[in-house]
């Protein structure tokens, strides 16, 4: 959750070194609608109706009994693991209704949600690389400290000292597309912070958010690739293309750059300054997520006086094989961009020595409509390739593309998410 000291670079006899550390702080899923569950009274199985949508209706097992769950059609949306695996209010409703023998309604407050829901864990990354005499990358090292990518625990069970799930340790998520001559990637698995068998005495449950694990890996990797390109004095797009052999990865990069009217030159831009008001920049990133290729270009403006970064536009090119419903795919890409812009720019759980302190939308702000970037999508249809998923790939592009755009505008690297105004202002002043 905190920055690591930078470590020495990998070097060969004729290579120049580059090294950096990156980190990502704790976040929440932040469902706008708080959890509400109504449970009927029964000795055995209980019928439940919950407010959240986003997952198929199904069953909840409590103390060996299966209870049927359905979602109210007018309820607020949610997604992923928070909705599917950790609807704590549902478990509480079952236990309470059976204890009192009457129907009950359990409703979490906004503060309950922000304090007790499973939190997206912080991660730390340590990277180094070596450049050859022609500016080519000859050695790459990426070490990541990441908690488990497996399921978290139900809150009630954890508080009662009877966790329902095992914890495990974290691991690597997502392939490295680049053809680096020498590459070392190491995952230092960490146990879940709030697990009963964890050596860390934190009162936090953790579970990764959208694009589990790969969002963090890609931020570190793609921001550092950009950093190496700058060290070599090369255009970030050309540098990537020079270290890729996968034709689909090359195609999405070229497509995103074309639609975004990529300005081919090294970063930072000529005359880049941490003091210039209204400085603008562009950044690029690429990823392969579960068979789907995506590349993105972000355009930003930076106000050094306030530290505010405005994401003006994001262009995403995506290759998910056969495109069955282009409109649905475009909407998924747009949701990836908007939600992850919020995560990258604003979202951070704060806490003191005892409690979570970000308990409302003021202390845990999310992206407002007025600050939403323009989103452009370019879909590459490959009818000969089976369709792959579109709900997460573009998520991974946003943080590194914004990070690289900030550097392009100002000449300053910011290696910790989120890019909140106070953090950006301090980095530019330093």
Q: How far is CA 9 from CA 43, 179, 185, 195, in A?
A: 64, 19, 14, 35
Helix axes 214-232, 395-410, angle to 10 degrees: 30
Provide the domain limits for residue 270. Answer: 245-429
Cα separation, 38 vs 45, whole angstroms: 14
On the question of pLDDT at 10 being above 50, the answer is: no
Domain boundary among 108, 134, 165: 108
Domain boundary among 108, 124, 140: 108
Give domain status of residue 282, yes or no: yes
Q: How confident is the model at residue 11 (pLDDT cuts 50, 70, 90)?
A: very low
| Residues 371-422: tens digit of each pLDDT | 999 999 999 999 999 999 999 999 999 999 999 999 999 999 999 999 999 9
Give domain status of residue 310, yes or no: yes
Number of separate domains in the chain = 2
Give domain status of residue 3, yes or no: no
Cα separation, 339 vs 397, whole angstroms: 12
On the question of pLDDT at 16 being above 70, the answer is: no
Which residues are CB-neighbours of 237 under 8 A, at least 6 positions away?
A: 253, 257, 262, 264, 284
Q: How confident is the model at residue 158 (pLDDT cuts 50, 70, 90)?
A: low
Buried b (16+ CB within 10 A) or exposed e, 275-300: ebeebbbbbbbbbbbeebbbbbbbbb
Q: 3-state DSSP call for residue 159?
A: helix
CATH number at 357 reads 3.30.365.10
Give domain status of residue 26, yes or no: no
pLDDT at 84: 53
Q: How far is CA 344 from CA 167, 171, 288, 329, in A?
A: 27, 22, 20, 22
Cα separation, 192 vs 163, whole angstroms: 12
| Residues 115-155: tens digit of each pLDDT | 888 788 888 899 999 999 988 999 999 999 887 766 556 66
Give domain status of residue 60, yes or no: yes
pTM as predicted:
0.87
Q: Calculate mean pLDDT across residues 156-166.
A: 58
Window from 3-17, 68-82, 338-352 with minimum mean pLDDT: 3-17
Give domain status of residue 156, yes or no: no
Give domain status of residue 168, yes or no: no
pLDDT greater at residue 54 or residue 307: 307
Domain boundary among 89, 108, 127: 108
Give domain status of residue 330, yes or no: yes
pLDDT at 54: 46
pLDDT at 341: 97
Which residues is 131 bridged to in the sheet? 16, 137
On the question of pLDDT at 113 being above 90, the answer is: no
Segment (H or E) for 220: helix 214-232
């Amino acid at each position: 959750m905190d920055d690591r000291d930078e470590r020495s670079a990998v070097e060969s006899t004729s290579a120049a070194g580059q090294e950096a550390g990156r980190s990502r702080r704790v976040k929440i899923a932040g469902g706008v609608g708080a959890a509400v569950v109504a449970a009927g009274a029964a000795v055995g199985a209980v019928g439940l109706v919950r407010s959240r949508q986003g997952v198929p209706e199904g069953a909840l097992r409590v103390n060996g009994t299966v209870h049927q769950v359905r979602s109210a059609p007018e309820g607020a949306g949610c997604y992923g693991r928070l909705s599917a695996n950790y609807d704590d209010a549902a478990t509480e409703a079952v236990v309470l209704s059976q204890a009192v023998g009457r129907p009950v309604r359990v409703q979490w407050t906004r503060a309950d949600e922000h304090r007790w829901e499973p939190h997206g864990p912080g991660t730390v990354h340590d990277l180094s690389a070596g450049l050859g005499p022609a500016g080519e990358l000859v050695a790459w090292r990426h070490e990541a400290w990441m908690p488990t990518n497996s399921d978290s625990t139900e809150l009630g069970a954890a508080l009662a000292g009877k966790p329902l799930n095992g914890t495990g340790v974290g691991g690597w998520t997502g392939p490295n597309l680049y053809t680096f001559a020498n590459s070392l990637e190491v995952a230092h698995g960490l146990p879940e912070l709030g697990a009963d068998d964890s050596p860390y005495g934190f009162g936090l449950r953790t579970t990764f958010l959208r694009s589990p694990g790969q969002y963090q890996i890609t931020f570190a990797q793609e921001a550092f690739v950009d950093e190496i390109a700058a060290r070599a004095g090369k255009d970030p797009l050309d540098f990537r293309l020079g270290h890729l052999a996968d034709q689909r990865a090359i195609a999405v990069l070229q497509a995103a750059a074309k639609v975004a009217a990529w300005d081919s030159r090294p970063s930072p831009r000529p005359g880049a300054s941490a003091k210039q008001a209204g400085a603008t920049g562009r950044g690029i990133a690429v990823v392969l997520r579960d068979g789907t290729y995506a590349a993105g270009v972000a355009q930003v403006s930076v106000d050094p006086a306030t530290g505010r970064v405005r994401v003006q536009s994001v262009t995403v090119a995506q290759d998910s094989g056969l495109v069955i419903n282009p409109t649905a795919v475009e909407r998924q890409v747009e949701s990836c961009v908007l939600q992850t812009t919020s995560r990258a720019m604003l979202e951070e759980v704060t806490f003191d020595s005892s409690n979570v302190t970000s308990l409302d939308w003021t202390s845990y702000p999310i992206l407002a409509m007025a600050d939403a970037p323009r989103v452009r999508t370019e879909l590459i249809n490959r009818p000969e390739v089976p369709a792959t998923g579109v709900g997460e790939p573009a998520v991974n592009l946003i943080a590194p593309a914004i990070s690289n755009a900030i550097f392009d505008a100002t000449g300053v690297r910011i290696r910790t998410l989120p890019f909140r105004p106070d953090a950006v202002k301090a980095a530019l002043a330093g």
